[in-house]
Every structure is written in structure tokens, then in C-alpha cells.
Amino acid sequence: MKIYILGAGYRLAEMALALSPKREDVLVLTSDEPTYRLCQERHLPVRSADLTRERLADLGIEFRIEDIAIISDYDEPRLGAILECLAAQRPQGQVLVFTPESVRALARRHPQFVFKSHRSVYRNELREMYRRVNTIQKVNALLRIVRERRRVLTVIWGNPDPDAIASARALQELLAGDVEEYRIAYTGQFTRQENLAMVHTLKVATAKWDPAMLASGPLLATVDAQPSFFQPPLPQPIDLVIDHHPLSELGPHRFSDVRTDYGSTSTILTEYFLDTGRRLPRSVATGLFYGLKVDTNNLTRNVSDADIDAFRALRMRTDENLLRTIEFSQMPLTMLDYFSIAISNKKVCRDVTFSYLGQVDNPDVGVYVADFFIKLSGISWVVVGVRTAEKLIVVFRTDGLRRHAGRIAESLFRDYGTAGGHRTMARAELQLDRVRAEVPEIADVAVERWLLSKLSLKLKALGSLR
Ligand SMILES: [Mn+2]
């Protein structure tokens, strides 16, 4: 493939060098004296030619189907004349035209050529630079504020999730040289195994929020949340806010960076490092990568260009082994015992699987078991029952093809507590007090039989199991 660069301007030499750094596949053709000299100075193959009237064939150039011609000229009438002359030659190769003006009129005249306006090239470049400059300013402002007090307490709102944990840890790294004390607190609790695995694997020190933490007089920060989320509010205003949720009233604060079009707060923190040229340690990058992945559901939800750029950059810096350790740590070991109960208690009839596990400590057990059973081939309905001290919990999973799990859950169990859900996932939480009216003794066998008789009203296959 040969690349011909036609027209005038210093840009021709830049294009030639960009596309053919070794200068072997490229030839510049120009009638402009300064352009010719510039190419010579840069040791670029260049020929003098007036392409507004000279044909390529007359210059001894065979413009073949695999070749490309790039045309750029600051002089609009001359650019138009070159295009007319080239079009009349019915060239075989592809022609790309950079035009100083709007492409529309030219594109209509020469639909066989590909056009790009200078403005769109600069727009893309400048937007990127503008974004970077913005981020650098943000980081500088943040550091200036933090240096005043040199103590920061980052509070995660609610139950810590990967995006919040990763962002809080990345902020710690960013501020490391400028603070004497940095702590991460959370107001909720760790409810998911993989989030616990994340803080253990990546060695993120976190602690349950306690107002006494304010005693040392730290600046208060929050990531992946906004002050309005904290109800009741924290005892002092939140000074630093970095988030991607829809903007709410931030109240008195010193610094905020809320980018509502971003898929994760991890993306913002990633830019803080990349745009300021800071080193991003592997464990911090791994956290940010996981935070971004979880919040965007592997780049399938709420994704912006910035998220994709961050994903690409983080991927190279991520420790795959650490990431796997976190992603595979979804269940506590004790779950194995429940799986063994669930499997031995299971009743399968046609495409329906039912299992009653009896009393459990954490009703999430039923969810894990149901999620596992629905993956079995040939099974399109799963119903799993578990019991706590006050409630009987029934978890539904279906392939979603025929019947609506949420509606069935609701119609069967609405009167006993709460019930409902989606087409493929549903849940009912029955108050044992109300079940007792029909099952006087809450023994496992009696509850199981009662559940089956209820379910068989809607799921005929289960009728045969009673
Ligand atoms: Mn988030």
C-alpha cells in the first residue's frame, strides 16, 4: 500500500511522518514551495506537481486500488480544483480529504471521497486536552485543601461496595504525600463476601463509622456518595465530595467533583492518576478496575467514553490473580453445608426444582442455592424455601420464557407477608405467625408439605411431589 499526500501546508509533512515513520510508503505531492522545502528538510519523499491540472498517470503514478490519497490544503479554491481534477481521473484507490470548511457541500459533490473537517479533528483533540486540564486543576485544588489540615477521614455511605472501596483507597494513595492521617470509615456494614474479600486481598484498612473519629479534626470526605445521602447527616459538613451519582444539594463543602455521566467513581480517580502522570500501584489499579467493572456491569451499563478509556488503562495495570481472588470469593465456606442440604432435599419434577432447607442463619442462603439450581440444564423453574426465627422466605428463579415469577409469588403469598419480583427473579417473605394459622407446628416436614401444596396451585408439576 502506498500513501500519497496531496496539497499544501506544514500538516502534510506531519501526516506523512505519522503514517509512515520510516518514510518508505509515502509520497508528498505539492505545488507549494514552502511545503516542498519543509518535506525536503524532513527527508520525506516529495515531488513538485500541480494537481489542479496534472493527472497522476502523467506524473508516472499508478494509483492502485489498495493505495490511499490524503488531500489537505489550507487554500480552499485550490483544494476544490484538486478534487475536481482527481475526480475526473476516476481514481481506483481511496481518497480522504481534510477540509478547512464544512464538509457537507464537498461531500455532496464528491460522494466517492471521504471527508473530515479540520474543526472536527481539533474538536476531538481539544476536548481530550480540556478534560485533562480540568482533571489536573481538580487534583491541584484537592491537594491544596488537604495540605491545610493534613488529616482526612473518608466516609463511605451505607454498605461498602467495590466502587466506593476502590475510590476511597485510591484517594488515600493520591493524598499519601500530603497527609499525616488518612482513614476510611463506612456507615453500613459489609454484606457481601466479595467486598470483604476485596478489602482483605487489596489490604484496604476500613473501620465502622464512629463520631469519635472526628476527634483528631480531620477533613471529611466522601466518595461514590453525596452529603444528602447521609441521613441523619454526619455531625460536621463533608468537605470533599467525589461522585458520579445524579447531583443533589451538596451543602457547604470545600471541594466537589461530581461527574454524572461517568459509569463509576473509580473512573474519576483513575483520571486523577493518569492525567497527572502519577504512579498507580498495582493493588490500587486492581481495586479501581474491579470497582469500574462492577458499577458498569462489565461495561454493559451506564458507560461513557471515559469509562472505556479508564478500563483500557487499568486493565494493563491490574493484577489478574488478585482480581480473580476477589471475584471468586462470593460465598462463605459455611455455604457448602447448605448446598449439601439443598441438594439432598431437592425435588425435581419435569423442569421444576424445589428445595426446602429448613432453618438458616442468613436467608441469603436461599438466593445462592436458587441461583445455582437455575443454571442446571433442563431446569426452567426453581423454588427454594428457608426459614429464620420469624419468617419463611421463598426464593424463585425462572428462565423467564413462560410464566412471570413475580406474579406467581405475589398471587400465592401476598396474604402472608410481602411477595413479588420480576419475571425471572422473585421472593416472598412470609410471617411465620400467619403461616401458623395453617401449619400449627412449624416443623420442617410440615412446612415443606404446606409449601408444596401452595406452590402446586400454580406450578402443576409440583402437584405430584406432595
Ligand atoms: Mn459508584
454-465 pLDDT tens trace: 998 888 877 766
211 C-alpha vs ligand 1 centroid, how far in Å?
A: 24
What pTM was estimated for this model as a whole?
Answer: 0.75
166 C-alpha vs ligand 1 centroid, how far in Å?
A: 10
> d(Cα 409, Cα 190) in Å, to the nearest integer?
29
124 C-alpha vs ligand 1 centroid, how far in Å?
A: 27
263 C-alpha vs ligand 1 centroid, how far in Å?
A: 7
pLDDT at 99 exceeding the cut of 70: yes
245 C-alpha vs ligand 1 centroid, how far in Å?
A: 7
The number of domains in the chain is: 3
359 C-alpha vs ligand 1 centroid, how far in Å?
A: 35
Q: What angle do CA 356, 362, 368 make, to 5 degrees?
A: 60
118 C-alpha vs ligand 1 centroid, how far in Å?
A: 37
pLDDT tens digits, one per residue of 131-155: 999 999 999 999 999 999 999 999 9
**Span 368-377, average pLDDT:** 93
pLDDT at 237 exceeding the cut of 90: yes
Give domain status of residue 121, yes or no: no
Query: By mean pLDDT, which of 232-241, 273-282, 297-306 is the weakest?
Result: 297-306
163 C-alpha vs ligand 1 centroid, how far in Å?
A: 5
Query: By mean pLDDT, which of 56-65, 212-221, 308-317 is the weakest?
Result: 56-65
Same structural domain, 316 and 263: yes
Q: Is 384 helix (H, G, I), strand (E, B) or coil?
A: strand
Instruction: Tell which wins on pLDDT, 50 or 125.
Output: 50
Give domain status of residue 424, yes or no: yes
> d(Cα 264, Cα 162) in Å, to the nearest integer?
10
**Span 247-263, average pLDDT:** 96
Q: What is the pLDDT of residue 466?
A: 55
Same structural domain, 87 and 174: no
264 C-alpha vs ligand 1 centroid, how far in Å?
A: 5
Give domain status of residue 375, yes or no: yes
Same structural domain, 95 and 165: no
Peptide bond into 332 cis (omega under 30): no
28 C-alpha vs ligand 1 centroid, how far in Å?
A: 50
208 C-alpha vs ligand 1 centroid, how far in Å?
A: 20
Give domain status of residue 122, yes or no: no
244 C-alpha vs ligand 1 centroid, how far in Å?
A: 6
Q: Which of 328, 354, 382 is the last residue of a domain?
A: 328
* Position 277 confidence tier, pLDDT thresholds 50, 70, 90: very high
* Position 22 confidence tier, pLDDT thresholds 50, 70, 90: confident
Same structural domain, 151 and 208: yes
**Span 356-382, average pLDDT:** 92
223 C-alpha vs ligand 1 centroid, how far in Å?
A: 8
**CATH number where 453 lies:** 3.10.310.40
Q: Tell me the residue ranges of DSSP E strands in 2-157.
A: 3-7, 26-30, 46-48, 68-72, 94-99, 114-117, 151-156
Q: What is the pLDDT of residue 301?
A: 86
pLDDT at 295 exceeding the cut of 70: yes
128 C-alpha vs ligand 1 centroid, how far in Å?
A: 23
DSSP secondary structure letter of residue 155:
E
Quick check: 447 and 439 in contact, CB under 8 A? yes
Average pLDDT of the chain?
Answer: 93
